[in-house]
Structure 1
Amino acid sequence: MIPIPTFIGALACCALLWPASLARANDSDAALHAAVAAERARPAAPRHPRTAFVSDHAPRAVQLSPDGRHVAYLRTQGQAHSLWLLPTQAGGEARRLLARTQAEQLLWSRDGRWLFVIAPRTLSILGLDGGGIRIPLGGSEQREVMRVDPSQPAAVVLRERVRDASGQRWRIVRLDAHGRRTPLWEDPHWVHEVAFDASGRLVALTRSEGDHNAIHRVDADGTLRSARRVEPMARASLLGITAQGDLLLRGDTGGNFKRVLRLDREGGLHTLHVDPHGEADLDGLALDPVTGQPLIASYRSTVAASYGIGPAEDRVAAISSHFAGRDLEIDVGRGPGAYWLVSERDSTLRDPRWHLYDPRSGAFRRILAQEVKASRPLPETALAQKIPFTYRASDGMRVHGFLLLPPGADPARVPLVAQVHGGPINHFRPGYDGIAQLLANRGYAVFQSNFRGSTGHGRDYMFASHGDYGNGRVQQDIVEGVRYLLAQGVGDPERVGIVGHSFGGYSTLLGVTFSPELFKVGVAGAPPADFGWSMKWLVDAGDQGARPDGSLIAMLRALSIDPTDPETYARLHAQSPVANAEKLRRPLLILAGGADRTVAIREVIHYAARLQLLGKQVSLYVEPGGGHSPVDPLPREAYVYLMETMLHSHLGGAKPDAPGVELRAYLQKNLRLVGPEFAAIAGSVRQSPRKAPQP
């Protein structure tokens, strides 16, 4: 029981805060209305092919060398890439270093003379003047690249497993550009990060210790000295060390938001930079290529913004002013005359734009424009602005979200689709989203909720779910966000749907099962039908459950969704879509990968079969050999075509373009259950019941 004086004091406090809170809510509503009006005033967008929204042919892994003299990048070529090198001096021609590679990540050596090219199974070390070696990754040693060694001219740090009769350990190895290996450390615990002093000596590491991580200093004789225990689900990534011996970190340990931190020798934690608006986690950080000190901090949970730290403050402010309103990633070249690389992104830019910035003159020069043009980018006029807003849940908590509207349309007369992100430890960002943009182009308003439990808005926000991931508080945030938008005049209340992938697919099943009066149709990609069972399977058999640091089970316990706890398991099952399958009254499309190692395909098929036996209207598509998400062009087109068709059939958005011969044949082969929405292309595929939706 709360003591009466405390209770009265709490009421008085609420009375004082209520007008300010109401003012914030009114300001948020007014900003949303203004943004909605601006979208309605825009010219209507022309229709574009569905493949244009999900294609991915622009340059990737674009990286500036530390000396600012070269930009390396990958050019997409079918299912592989080629590696190219562009001089930053005006007039320099790009040259190809590799004709074909499966690499997805590029790292520069500190001296700018070598490239570390990282593919799923191979590390290639390439010299700009020729020569190179290849090192296998993965395998029984589980070898992987941790980082470039900032203390050496040209070396990376590897982590690999060592197994013998006494068990297994984790070895940290320095590998230089010529293939020379230097063992640095062995540990029975999984080592996350390491830091070196200027001489190359290992001086600090972070490692997993049961349900938490810990930061240790390493003395010259190899003795570990505890520097900080990191709370469960907190982050404290080790960046490096200052000249004075303080450790540099990025994370949310010791506070709410992810930020730039300094851990002094006495264990004191100091914030070097945090979101000035107090609402977003740190999302990106650029370091000085010489000193390793933090130079640029970026935040992207609501409105994207980048800030210079110390000597970079004025230049970053100038760059941000030049690209006002854009999401920027900035890489800094070494020395006052070196070029900087600026990546310009936005919700209306499918493909980023890259620019070289000369810090001496303040001038900008665009690069890779022809590469982007070759990928046939969508015009910005065809894409919807992503509008950030907040709404108040029924328990008083402010919840974050985004809204996309078809340009030029009356917002009150368009169908509304709730798109739910995966994870759930994830969040929508203000950047480009292909599925959302496709739906907006087809005439739908799209609502993206960063419901409580999402990341990006601090630890308090993430833990505010209190494990209520069934038909409870988390799902309520999504439902109440839809109702909030309808009350603001956004969306036709008779034409509301819900879509999502992974956890978003699970939320979709919850929506059409428990809120059929609101959601008229659902499209669920890779959906767990029983969240408790799915998390237990993931721990026991899925790829993520095999993490060497045991972080998955620790994370689930910290979030109060431990599937090994009988009470939690029973609660999640009782609220699951599969246990309440008879309540489904709305048409449903399920999409899945036949070799998914995150959500078991047998769980998806079991749920679909149960719905079919109950006479529910369900369609099921399975990508043969597909993983958790479609990757290849044809499965990606199949995914969006099926979604378009399902939503058009029940919400009245634009009719999808007819599938080509190849796509039609692919769908006929891989549609396992077919509702009336897909009867025209089904051929001899077994039909799902043509049962009319119940009111």
Structure 2
Amino acid sequence: MKMLRILCGSIAFCALLLTQHNVLAQANESLRSVEQAQQVLPRAPRLPRAAFLEARTLVAVQLSPTGDFVAYLREQKDSRALWLLPTDGGKARPLAGSTQADQVMWSRDGRWLFLRGSRSLGIVGVDGRAGVRVPLGGIEQRRVMQLDRSQPAAVLLRERVRVGKGERWRIVRMDVHGKRTLLREDAHWIHDVALDAQGRIVALARFEGDHDALHRVRADGSLRKVLRLRPMERLDLLAARADGSLLMTGNPDSTAPGGDFRRVMRLDADDRLQTLHQDPRGEADLDEVALDPRTQMPLAASYRSTVAATYGIGDAQATVAAITRKFPGRDIGLQVGGGPSAHWLVSERAATLRDARLYLYDPRNGDVRRILDEPGITTGVPDETALARKIAVSYVASDGLRVHGFVLLPPGVDAARAPLIAQVHGGPISHFRAGYDGTAQFLANRGYVVFQSNFRGSTGHGRAYTFASNGDYGNGRVQRDIVEGVRWLLAQGIGDANRVGIVGHSFGGYSTLLGLTFQPELFKVGVAGAPPADLGWGMRWLVQSGDQGDLPDRSLQHTLRALSLDATDPATYARLHAQSPQANAMKMQRPLLIMAGGADRTVAIREVIHYSATLKSLGRPVTLLVEPGGGHSPVEPIPREAYLFAMETMLQRHLGGPVPEAPGQRLRAYLRENLRLAGPEFTAFAKK
């Protein structure tokens, strides 16, 4: 502390340093106390792999606008059905016996349900009547934009129209009977709109070739630009108010005080931005907002990039505070019924809850009542006591930046003697949240401490944090954040320094390859899912050939250029290639497991195979498992189980831990057929 005061060059800077020091000291003390509390708990029973495959029974749950019903999609055996539960305590009844939908939206009048899937939109009345069915995707790239809250029962669709060799985009209103009304046609891709009470588009956000922009729409249809957004500035329109103001979420004008973070905002009629709510801790982007279904006014805001917290907004502060007090230490999600006596739907979430617990809150008396907890729905959900606490942590990198992350501590395990796994998220434009993570919990259940770094370049902590990477995604600053986080944990007495591994998928897989290549003294083994072995080549392929290339929603290439990751630039390509695992394959010595999909359109399978073949030719210890026809991540049950089994086998062999449960006949056959390269850990499954 004395040294900190000596180093301060000004009172303000000294205050900043001392505040950061105190925050980190408190966090470290909290980590130590939690670790001690976890260690004295009984050792968790080992759960079967199937418990971590996240095959949830409830796919989607939505409260009606009046708070009278809860609609939900329920998985039963091989079918998915739509059910309706009265909130007054009556019995649930099925509305649609078979659907492929994964999202549910209520019409404003509460008489219809829109069932949205990847390929179609279905409509069902609460009385069992069927509305029209609309195909999605296709050559028109038709998508459901949002519910049309200006109408009793309608949605807004976005469709592409071919014009010669070009294209235009239409915003169409469609009611439950299939009646269509064209609201706007535009040469630019419109990603959001706001409607007035008469159903006229009064504001829109669109991509304009190299940037996003927010426009007000005049009565004659002409536009007036209000905001020009910089890369990684985003906004979502919530509602247009009668006074001419717009309610929105996002981080436009990120140069303004507090504007760096995603927040709840109001743009008044004079185009002045006001912040209605942002993270009081100054650490996290807005994750979710709950709206009044009658007025579309924001009532609650949730933040989940560090310690999960939900806060009330305006007149709802007391109500939200009363609800959160009933669930101390939990992550709360809210859906609001319209009117002072209407029920609210409360979702209780936690890192130790695979599936959220659902309750109805009665604002008249403050009571909460659990719903949808019958055995047919909750069967197979892991007991909380078998899962690991997930602790938000932060540490100071070697250049002084405060870096965020999480640590999962297995109950009943001496963390100082446990193997430590660094789990790296994909993206890298993504981040770990405070909630449940199946892979991390699977590893913790096997006795591993799991560290999840939200390294600089991650989202969730403001735009400046994302751009703090300065494009250094090779063996540079981003990787050092991960490495320094591991070393910081070891210095706190968390993890056995002789048993450290690294795992990840997509960008996380790339980081795994980097770790084994350039930090072999730290990482003893790695598991990489769908890893680009040369980020420069991989980014160039993604833009030119992959499914996530220059899409109409916003240009990936412009985003990559802003992040200094545009590999179409020769200098950027050369820099990333020189630091790539592919170009430094000779340095790889540690055992490695690679898993990939044969039809991946995000990371080219030929890149994965080329790297694996290079390692094999050099005599390096590598195993390659490829899912035929698989995409970027495994979806079907057997490939997903194979992912966990292969990971567990690899880590157990090199870091210790319990021997994996024997694979069943189908899993054994899958491994035998799809192991392209079998290292010594998998010789029992190699083809003879």
Shorter-chain TM band = over 0.9
Q: What amino acid sits opposite 1:548 in the alignment? A: P
| 3-state DSSP of counterpart to 2:381 | coil
- Distance in 2 (CA, whole Å) between partners of 1:550 and 1:566 is 23
Match of 2:288 among 263, 284, 291: 284
- Distance in 2 (CA, whole Å) between partners of 1:27 and 1:243 is 47
Structure 2, unpaired ranges of 5+: 1-6, 254-258
- Distance in 2 (CA, whole Å) between partners of 1:50 and 1:17 is 46
Aligned match of 2:114? 116
Asked if 1:648 corresponds to 2:652, the answer is: yes
- Distance in 1 (CA, whole Å) between partners of 2:310 and 2:584 is 46
Asked if 1:527 corresponds to 2:531, the answer is: yes
Q: 1:166 to 1:404 in 2, by over 3 A?
A: closer
Aligned match of 1:208? 207
Structure 1, 539-548 or 644-653: larger mean CA deviation: 539-548
Task: Confirm or deny: 8 A CA contact 2:54 2:354 kept in the other structure.
Answer: no
Q: What amino acid sits opposite 1:511 in the alignment? A: G
Deviation at 1:190, TM superposition (A): 0.4
Aligned match of 2:178? 179
Asked if 1:666 corresponds to 2:666, the answer is: no
Aligned match of 1:347? 351
**Where in structure 2 are the equivalents of 1:325-364 lying within 5 Å?**
325-364=329-368
| 3-state DSSP of counterpart to 2:62 | strand
Aligned match of 2:437? 433
Task: Confirm or deny: 8 A CA contact 2:103 2:117 kept in the other structure.
Answer: yes
Structure 1, 386-395 or 33-42: larger mean CA deviation: 33-42
Aligned match of 2:222? 223
Task: Confirm or deny: 8 A CA contact 1:59 1:371 kept in the other structure.
Answer: no
RMSD: 1.4
Task: Confirm or deny: 8 A CA contact 1:328 1:345 kept in the other structure.
Answer: yes
Aligned match of 1:25? 24
Q: 1:372 to 1:349 in 2, by over 3 A?
A: farther
Summarize deviations over 1:620-643 as a string: whole Å, max 9, x none.
Answer: 000111111111111110000000
| 3-state DSSP of counterpart to 2:513 | helix
Deviation at 1:23, TM superposition (A): 2.6
TM-score, normalising length: structure 1: 0.95
**Where in structure 2 are the equivalents of 1:614-633 lying within 5 Å?**
614-633=618-637
Task: Confirm or deny: 8 A CA contact 1:286 1:330 kept in the other structure.
Answer: yes
Aligned match of 1:691? none
**Where in structure 2 are the equivalents of 1:548-627 lying within 5 Å?**
548-627=552-631
Aligned match of 1:102? 100
Asked if 1:51 corresponds to 2:42, the answer is: no
Q: What amino acid sits opposite 2:315 in the alignment? A: P
Structure 1, 197-206 or 78-87: larger mean CA deviation: 78-87
Aligned match of 2:147? 148
Structure 1, 446-455 or 78-87: larger mean CA deviation: 78-87
Aligned match of 1:251? 250
- Distance in 2 (CA, whole Å) between partners of 1:245 and 1:477 is 45
- Distance in 2 (CA, whole Å) between partners of 1:20 and 1:295 is 31
- Distance in 2 (CA, whole Å) between partners of 1:56 and 1:474 is 33
- Distance in 2 (CA, whole Å) between partners of 1:166 and 1:17 is 56
TM-score, normalising length: structure 2: 0.96
- Distance in 1 (CA, whole Å) between partners of 2:558 and 2:77 is 39
Aligned match of 2:237? 238
Aligned match of 1:470? 474
Q: What amino acid sits opposite 1:95 in the alignment? A: R
- Distance in 1 (CA, whole Å) between partners of 2:375 and 2:126 is 22
- Distance in 1 (CA, whole Å) between partners of 2:15 and 2:554 is 46
Task: Confirm or deny: 8 A CA contact 1:301 1:430 kept in the other structure.
Answer: yes
Task: Confirm or deny: 8 A CA contact 2:57 2:76 kept in the other structure.
Answer: no
Deviation at 1:562, TM superposition (A): 0.8
Q: What amino acid sits opposite 2:486 in the alignment? A: V
| 3-state DSSP of counterpart to 1:544 | coil
Q: What amino acid sits opposite 2:139 in the alignment? A: S
Task: Confirm or deny: 8 A CA contact 2:524 2:591 kept in the other structure.
Answer: yes
Task: Confirm or deny: 8 A CA contact 1:59 1:75 kept in the other structure.
Answer: yes
Summarize deviations over 1:92-127 as a string: whole Å, max 9, x none.
Answer: 121222222211111110111111101111111111
- Distance in 2 (CA, whole Å) between partners of 1:626 and 1:367 is 37
| 3-state DSSP of counterpart to 1:636 | helix
Summarize deviations over 1:389-415 as a string: whole Å, max 9, x none.
Answer: 111111111111111112111111110
- Distance in 2 (CA, whole Å) between partners of 1:55 and 1:489 is 32
Match of 2:641 among 617, 637, 641: 637
Q: What amino acid sits opposite 2:604 in the alignment? A: A
Task: Confirm or deny: 8 A CA contact 1:275 1:299 kept in the other structure.
Answer: yes
Deviation at 1:64, TM superposition (A): 0.6
Q: What amino acid sits opposite 2:290 in the alignment? A: A
Deviation at 1:569, TM superposition (A): 0.7
| 3-state DSSP of counterpart to 2:536 | helix
Deviation at 1:21, TM superposition (A): 3.2
- Distance in 1 (CA, whole Å) between partners of 2:346 and 2:484 is 39
- Distance in 2 (CA, whole Å) between partners of 1:678 and 1:118 is 42
| 3-state DSSP of counterpart to 1:38 | helix
Structure 1, 516-525 or 71-80: larger mean CA deviation: 71-80
- Distance in 2 (CA, whole Å) between partners of 1:82 and 1:522 is 41
Q: What amino acid sits opposite 1:498 in the alignment? A: I
| 3-state DSSP of counterpart to 2:389 | coil
| 3-state DSSP of counterpart to 1:369 | coil
- Distance in 2 (CA, whole Å) between partners of 1:525 and 1:452 is 21
- Distance in 2 (CA, whole Å) between partners of 1:66 and 1:17 is 46
Summarize deviations over 1:188-215 as a string: whole Å, max 9, x none.
Answer: 0000101111111111101001221111
Deviation at 1:266, TM superposition (A): 2.1
Deviation at 1:374, TM superposition (A): 4.2
| 3-state DSSP of counterpart to 1:153 | coil
Aligned match of 2:516? 512
Aligned match of 1:70? 69
Q: What amino acid sits opposite 2:400 in the alignment? A: G
- Distance in 2 (CA, whole Å) between partners of 1:80 and 1:528 is 36
Aligned match of 2:449? 445
Summarize deviations over 1:287-324 as a string: whole Å, max 9, x none.
Answer: 11001111111100111111111121111100000011
Task: Confirm or deny: 8 A CA contact 2:550 2:557 kept in the other structure.
Answer: no
Summarize deviations over 1:584-609 as a string: whole Å, max 9, x none.
Answer: 01000000011111111111111101
Deviation at 1:511, TM superposition (A): 0.4
Deviation at 1:226, TM superposition (A): 1.2
Deviation at 1:166, TM superposition (A): 6.7
- Distance in 2 (CA, whole Å) between partners of 1:213 and 1:371 is 48
Q: 1:16 to 1:167 in 2, by over 3 A?
A: closer
Summarize deviations over 1:486-536 as a string: whole Å, max 9, x none.
Answer: 111111111000000011000000000100000000000010111111111
Summarize deviations over 1:232-276 as a string: whole Å, max 9, x none.
Answer: 210111111122111111001121110001112222111010111
Match of 2:275 among 266, 271, 285: 271
| 3-state DSSP of counterpart to 2:503 | strand
Q: What amino acid sits opposite 2:279 in the alignment? A: D
Aligned match of 1:194? 193
Task: Confirm or deny: 8 A CA contact 2:96 2:124 kept in the other structure.
Answer: no
- Distance in 2 (CA, whole Å) between partners of 1:502 and 1:509 is 11
